[in-house]
Amino acid sequence: MEATGLESEEQRKATGRELRKGLADRGWKRILVDYRRIEHRGTLTQIYYQLEGGLANFDHRTRWALVSVPEAKQDVDFIETVARNRGYIFRGFMDTDEAIEWLTEA
């Protein structure tokens, strides 16, 4: 799943719907989210509350890899911590190949 452009609440909801559909209809168990082309990521507080509500809709057995740009490493580390503290299998990456390798190793 690749997210592009200016991040918005509607975009997040649409992405969540698409992911849930893929999980339900296609049986996905591994998801790579590419956020390298997102223009706005929000404050840490906004990110926390978005994750708090968004992750609740997903199975804890799903393996998540989030790819972003090095400038957003602090945000990615925070997202990984929040997700893992809630029991999700989640890792953040700056390199797509590393993310794919991690997703496919288990």
Q: In what order do the strands lie in the sheet with 63-67?
A: 2-5, 30-38, 63-67, 89-93
Partners of 27 in the β-ladder = none
Query: pTM of the full predicted structure?
Result: 0.76
The domain defined by 2-104 carries CATH number 3.30.750.24? yes
Average pLDDT, the chain: 82
Tens-digit pLDDT profile for residues 20-72: 777 777 777 888 888 888 766 678 888 787 777 777 777 888 899 999 999 88
In percent, how much of the chain has pLDDT > 90? 34
Report the Cα–Cα distance between both ends of the chain, in Å, rounded. 20
Q: Rounded distance, CA 101 to CA 45, Å?
A: 30
The predicted structure's pLDDT at residue 103? 94
- Over 60: is that where the pLDDT of 11 sits? yes
